[in-house]
Each structure stands twice: as C-alpha cells, then as structure tokens.
Structure 1
Amino acid sequence: MGLRTVLLFAAFLVLTGCTTMVPRERLPYPLTDDSFGDPVKVVTIPLPVIATSPNEGAILGGLTAFLLHNARDEVNTLIAPQVNYNQNFGTTFSLYGAFFPLPERNWEFNLSKSTNVNEDYEVRLRDKTFLSLNGKPLETNAFLYYFTDGSSRFYGFESGSLQQDETNYANREYGITMGVGYDLTDHLQLVLGERFRKVDIRPGAVSKVPYIRDRFTTAEVPGINGFTAHAQKIALIYNTLDDRTMPTGGLYARASIEGSAELLGSDAGYRHYEVELKGYFPLDTARYITVVRVAYNQTLGSEVPFLERSILGGETTLRGYGRNRFVDSSYLLCNLEERIRLFRWSVFDVNTDWEVAPFIDLGAVMESLDRAEAKSFEFNPGIGFRAVVRPNIVGRVDIGFGNEGPAVFVGLGYPF
C-alpha cells in the first residue's frame, strides 16, 4: 500500500466520523456520571492503525474512538475498541478505556488478546479523594496487570551488546504497583510505594529470532528462568507543573530509593536508585514548549534479574530502538523535544491541537556513572506528531532513528 493510498484511507476514515446526542440513561456509570448533561454528546472517530517497531514489526489495523463529553463540553470518557494484524501475533482484539470523572481522580483499563501468544489485561487508578492524613488528602496510585509479550528481546548486557546476539522470548507477568503520596508543602510530596512482580520466561512469537535460552545461560543472565520481585520504595517529588496530564510550564523533580529483599519474597536482594528532572518552558502563549528531561538510574546488588536492571529503549526513553534494547546496572538519559502547535482545528465539535515535535534522545547504559564513556551514548533524533484534546487526551506518533534503523511508536499520552 503506497503512502498516497494510506493518507487517502486515513482521511476517509476521519471524514466518516460523526457527532451524536445520546440519552444519558443509555450510557450508565462508569461511562457517565453526575458531571454529564442529558443528552450526552458522543463523538465517534474511526482511525487507521499503522505502526512498526524493531520488536513488534509492522502492525496494520483500525480503531474507533468514542469521546463522551461532560456538561462543560470536556472529554471525560474515552472508549476505543481496536483490531489489528501482525505477522508474529496474528489478529489482536483490544478495548481501551479512560475515565476522568474529577480533576483528583482518573482511571483507565486495557483488555487485549491476540491469536498468537500476546495478551494484556491492566487497570490503572489515581485518586486524591479516597484517603486523608491529618486533614490532608493522600494521593493513591495503583496499577494491576497481567500480560504476555511475545515480542521481547535481549541482546546481552552493557552498551556494546551486539545486534547479531539478538534473542526473543515471551515474558508472562502479573503483579501490582501501589503508591501513596503525602503533600509536605504545596509543591513537595513524599511517596511510599509497594511493588510485586512475578515473571515467567517462555518461547516468544518471533520464530526467526533465536530463543533467549538457546543463546544465554542462567549463569550469564540471572532471571532467565523467571523470577519474583517484591520491593518497597520511598520517593520525594518536587512539582510546579501547571497541569498534571498536559503541562505547558513548570518543573518536576523526583528522587527515589527502592529495595528488594529475599526476606520479603524476592528471589534476590538489590536496590534501585533513581533521579529524574523535567522542565517545561513555554513561548508565545505555549504555542512552543521546550521540554527537557534528564534521568539517572542505578541498580546495586548481586544476581539481579535482567528485567529488574537499568534498561533503555522504547517509546519513552530511546525512541530509535525497541523496548529493553540496552541493559546494565546503570543508565544516564537525556531527552529534548520542541512541542510546536501548528494549528487548532475543531473536528466534530472537538477542539484539537495538532502538534509537531522534533526531538533528540541521548542515553547510555553502564556499570556505574564513573564508567560512562562518550562512545557508549546512543544519539536518536526523530520527530513526533500529536493530536491533543484538552484537558485529558493525547494521541501520538513518534518516529525515532537509531543505529539499527528507524522505529515508529503509536500510542496515547506524552512520552514524558
């Protein structure tokens, strides 16, 4: 299918969208709540799904986005069924939902099942109304999941891992991550977290790539036969962002320590240290937003499972590579992108900001920061395209270029 045909097909699907008014009684909770009027404005937009990445390969399909508007004409609910095809996973059926009933509460789910290997069932929740301490609300975050990813890759440890050592596997995982945040001041928050993760390593879905256990041994790669991790975290967060979901200005800084102990059920004892700094600098009434992120991560311990180490690669770190491309005991990462609003367009009474975002990703894995070498750093330039429906929804396509070829990532939300 040529580029012209793809563009014409995409334009046709968008133009076949529509806006309807639906009686609220036909849209029960949690699709609607007391913030919705009656009838409810529902915007329906069919879209093509065209993506490719080093791990998954080409994905073709389509989705239909149902955007439900509250009485303030804001998108409070998004439901998106999707069907796509990939030569490794076969046909995949998915249902995604995101709900924003209050500024202090949002939750989302994803249900996905492929005809070959892949599956994904997850729920995320953020709530700042449920718990309180000393009269102050506590921010509760929870993530519950069960998935199998048959596209996973491992190349070996260190920044010099070679493409010819590429292996494939399926990591079947289930677990839960929870955190409770207490506001020390208006901009400073203390967070206590708990994480449980159970991983089983199985043959993957990419038959043309060797299986991980056929090339690496347990002695070389701890966790290659699966593992259990149970860790506790403490973090301090400084936040002056003007919006949680779609910030246009401000600073965000986070420092955290996480410990995993065999006494509490982990297969190995180790510690994670992480520091992250993000800055958003707007110009021309936020038509241009320069976004900078710097992050350092270090993992200390013996026999640390390979998926619990410091990892780079994928749609939120080095966008020129597939997920988990580089693995070692530490990483240093810098992301720089310029988010430029090209125009604001109303499609079916939905005001949408259309953005282009040239970016540079720079990062490397290493044994420790004092072992960092300039030649180890990966330089990934690229460009992103975003459709922004304020105050909650971001659809994006990011195209990154690494030394092993281009990568295209399609998803929801900003990468950072």
Structure 2
Amino acid sequence: MRKWGREKGQPGLFGGILIHAAMFLLGLSPAWGAGMVPPGAPPAPVPTTLGPQGLSFPTLPIGAPPPFSYSTPFDNTVVVPLPAIGDSYNSGVTYGTIVPILYAKPSGRITSIFAPSVMYNSYMGLESGFRYYRYYKGNLKRWHVIAIQSNSIMNFYEFHYRDLSMDNGRYIVDVRVKDFKNPTARFYGIGPTSSFGDQSNFTLATTSVHGTFGENFDDQKVRIWFMERYRTYGASPGQVPDMPYTGLLFPDAPGFATGAQILTHRVNATYDTRDNHLIPSSGTYARIFAELDNNMTPGQGSLFDRFDAEYKYWLAHGSDDQDVLAIRAMVNLMNGPNIPFFAMSMLGGAYSLEGFGTGRFYDYDASLFNIEERIAAFDMNLFNVESEWQWP
C-alpha cells in the first residue's frame, strides 16, 4: 500500500498526513503547499497553472458530506474525527484520534485548519496537542503552529512561516523554530560495522531556529536558496524499558556527554518535476547542498563541512500507469574535527533505509541506493472518492 507512515520522531508529519487523509475522504482538492517540506508542514500540492509547486488555495466543496459539516453566509466548516494509528521500530504503536476542523470561505477556499489530537504510546504515555495551519494569498503565504505534550518527557513544539508571495512566487522566505524531546532515540555505535546487539536508548532533546531565503527559476522547477540555522542538542536517559542507556554503553560517543551547539551556513539547489509532492508517480527530484558548520560547544569548538547530493526518479508504467518504479540515490560527505554524533550522517527511518529505525547508522559519510516497485493492488470508492492502493 502507499506508505503513509512515519518514525515516532516526526509527529508533525504524522498529523499532516492524517489531515490530508481527512481532505481525501471529503473529496477535497489536494492543492496544499509547496515543496518537499520538513515534518510538521502540511502535504504539498499537485501542479497548477502557476507552476509545479501548485500555488493555488486549497478548496472545499460547498455542501461537504458528513461526518460533520455546517455553513454560514460567511464560511463553511467541516469537522472530521479520525482514528489515528502509527507504528515505528523505535517507539512501537501509537494510537488515538485527531480531529481536523477545516474552515473555508463560501467559495470553498480553505483559509485555516485546526486539528486537536489525543494519542497514547506505551513509552511516551498520553500525548495531547493541536496543529493549526493558516493560508493567505492563494497559498503563496502560510504559517502553522504545532504543540504536542505528553504526560512524561516527550514534547514537540514548532512554528513555521513560509512566504512565496514576493514577485508572485519568485522569491522564498522561510522561518522555522522547533523544540523537540524524544525519549525513544537509539544509538548503536558509529560506522557500518556497528552491531544491532549494541542497541541503546537515550532521550534526544533538540532546539533549532532557521531562516531561509531563495529564488525560483524555470517556472519553479529550479530553486536556489541560502539557509542559516542554529541547533542545540542534549542527551539524557530514555524511556524504553530493559534497554541500556547510551551514556553507559557508549560514554565516549562524540558529543554525547557535552551536548552540542551548531551554527550552520548552507547553500542549496533543487530541481523538481514531480507530479505530486506527497505521493509522486512520475517526475524527477534532484538536490545538492554544501554547508559549513561551526561547532560552538564550549571546549569543543571547531569547523566542519558537509556535502550532500540526492536524486529521485519515479516512472509510472503498466496498465493505465497504475504501477510505479521509484529510484533513489544519495551521498553525504563530511570533513572536519570534533563532529558530534548528533550532526553526523545518519541512515535509518522514514526517509532512508525504512527497514531500520531512525538512527540505525551514524558515520561521517553515508551513501544510499534504493529501487522500489509499487504494484497496483486494488481500487476503492469511499464517500464517492476513487482511490488507488499500491503494494511497495
């Protein structure tokens, strides 16, 4: 089936996918935001006449079907209670409910989405919170807030603002502030020979602030941007029972005892022709970036650099293009002294080596090559919406 999953370390993405699912069940337009966005941002749109980034407003049809909806002369509101369940290697099963509340103008144009949620996880306990998305100027400008707090250690707070309205989407301004504490993080050692038998657990605490400015070219297929980011990392005992604490099993892991404070300067270029940014079936996505990192941790000051190149390709084929061939290649290279393991190249989790949990491999350099065949399984009509399901 098409993979709407996530690692526990990304509650914002999980919520965004469920909200997208709510819109899908209601037969709404998939025109959301732009780009392959980080966790927490709403899913991205299909192309429109304004370019492949899809800069039209998300829309809601008048007289939306049940479960709950009502209209006034000024707006339409749809409430969609959804069961929510997620599973990952690191955190196990998380389940509960999320209730997207969609607000739209009489024309059907969605202006905001508010989505409270209550979830339970055996490691994290009860997690409650909300997500709020706000759209302006044909979705050229938007922001969101996410706040999730458990009754134990876990928390996730994020504010994200993106403005593509300058010169009708030519320029990009992006600001994000995030604070996250994950008590199910894993560490196995450093290098490709790290043993699964040395699996250990810790709580990863990270706070980050970043600002991005860039420019789109070639009908928004090409994007060049510059980013400044400040991140802090900390580690403490985790919450996975009967698993060794990383600080005891790997006391000399770079940066574990001291934490890390890193200032990053990055230049990035992307080429993007995907037909859909959430679940693409055709097109190309290519990215390269180079960055200089300043390790500002007291007593650990150093400069190190990173280079990353990634290529993804999707090819629809078979009867009615129902099958999809997906290819991905990636290389990440690092150089310099005193690199905390928090900042090293990492493989494992929702975005790389999905068969492993997040943090399975840490090292200075990393490379990855995947080929995936998504085979059509069945079609389904639900609430008068046609859907296609695939096996990866």
- TM-score of the superposed pair, with normalisation by structure 2: 0.73
Is 1:39 equivalent to 2:75 in the alignment?
yes
- Cα shift at 1:136: 7.5
Task: Tell me if structure 1 keeps the 8 A contact 2:262–2:297.
Answer: no
Task: Tell me if structure 1 keeps the 8 A contact 2:172–2:213.
Answer: yes
Equivalent-residue separation in structure 1 for 2:305 and 2:333 (angstroms): 8
**Which letter does structure 1 place at the counterpart of 2:159?**
V
Judged with a 3 Å threshold, the aligned counterparts in structure 2 of structure 1 residues 87 and 183 are, in CA distance, closer, same or farther, namely closer
* 1:104-159 deviation digits (Å, cap 9, x = unpaired): 23433321000111011012232211x45xx9731122221011111111010112
Counterpart of 1:298? 333
Judged with a 3 Å threshold, the aligned counterparts in structure 2 of structure 1 residues 99 and 290 are, in CA distance, closer, same or farther, namely farther
Structure 2 residue corresponding to 1:152, chosen from 177, 181, 185: 185
Helix, strand or coil: the match of 2:81? strand
Helix, strand or coil: the match of 2:251? coil
* 1:38-80 deviation digits (Å, cap 9, x = unpaired): 33141x3322233332211232322223334455546664332
- TM alignment of 1:206-225, pairs within 5 A: 206-218=240-252, 220-225=253-258
Equivalent-residue separation in structure 2 for 1:309 and 1:288 (angstroms): 36
Task: Tell me if structure 2 keeps the 8 A contact 1:224–1:306.
Answer: no
Structure 1 residue corresponding to 2:125, chosen from 80, 84, 90: 90
Pick the structure with more strand per residue.
Answer: 1
**Which letter does structure 1 place at the counterpart of 2:245?**
Y
Task: Tell me if structure 2 keeps the 8 A contact 1:295–1:334.
Answer: yes
Counterpart of 2:357? 322
Is 1:56 equivalent to 2:91 in the alignment?
yes
Task: Tell me if structure 2 keeps the 8 A contact 1:232–1:258.
Answer: yes
Task: Tell me if structure 2 keeps the 8 A contact 1:151–1:170.
Answer: yes
Counterpart of 1:199? 233
Judged with a 3 Å threshold, the aligned counterparts in structure 2 of structure 1 residues 136 and 46 are, in CA distance, closer, same or farther, namely closer
- Cα shift at 1:267: 3.9
- Cα shift at 1:275: 0.5
- TM-score of the superposed pair, with normalisation by structure 1: 0.69
**Gap runs ≥5 in structure 1:** 1-13, 25-37, 360-416
Counterpart of 1:32? none
Is 1:104 equivalent to 2:137 in the alignment?
no
When the two chains are superposed, the root-mean-square deviation of aligned CA atoms in Å is 3.0
Equivalent-residue separation in structure 2 for 1:352 and 1:78 (angstroms): 21
- Cα shift at 1:309: 0.6
Helix, strand or coil: the match of 1:234? strand
> Which has the higher mean CA deviation after the structures are superposed, 335-344 or 182-191?
335-344
**Which letter does structure 2 place at the counterpart of 1:196?**
Y
Equivalent-residue separation in structure 2 for 1:346 and 1:206 (angstroms): 39
Helix, strand or coil: the match of 1:261? strand
Judged with a 3 Å threshold, the aligned counterparts in structure 2 of structure 1 residues 250 and 168 are, in CA distance, closer, same or farther, namely same
- TM alignment of 1:326-337, pairs within 5 A: 326-335=361-370, 336-337=372-373
Equivalent-residue separation in structure 1 for 2:377 and 2:104 (angstroms): 23
Helix, strand or coil: the match of 2:80? strand
- Cα shift at 1:312: 1.0
Judged with a 3 Å threshold, the aligned counterparts in structure 2 of structure 1 residues 165 and 79 are, in CA distance, closer, same or farther, namely same
Equivalent-residue separation in structure 1 for 2:228 and 2:270 (angstroms): 17
- TM alignment of 1:233-252, pairs within 5 A: 233-244=266-277, 247-252=280-285
Judged with a 3 Å threshold, the aligned counterparts in structure 2 of structure 1 residues 39 and 263 are, in CA distance, closer, same or farther, namely closer
Task: Tell me if structure 1 keeps the 8 A contact 2:77–2:101.
Answer: no
Counterpart of 2:40? none
Equivalent-residue separation in structure 1 for 2:95 and 2:307 (angstroms): 39
Helix, strand or coil: the match of 2:95? strand
**Which letter does structure 1 place at the counterpart of 2:247?**
R
Greater RCO between the two (CA within 8 Å, min separation 6)?
2
Helix, strand or coil: the match of 1:269? strand
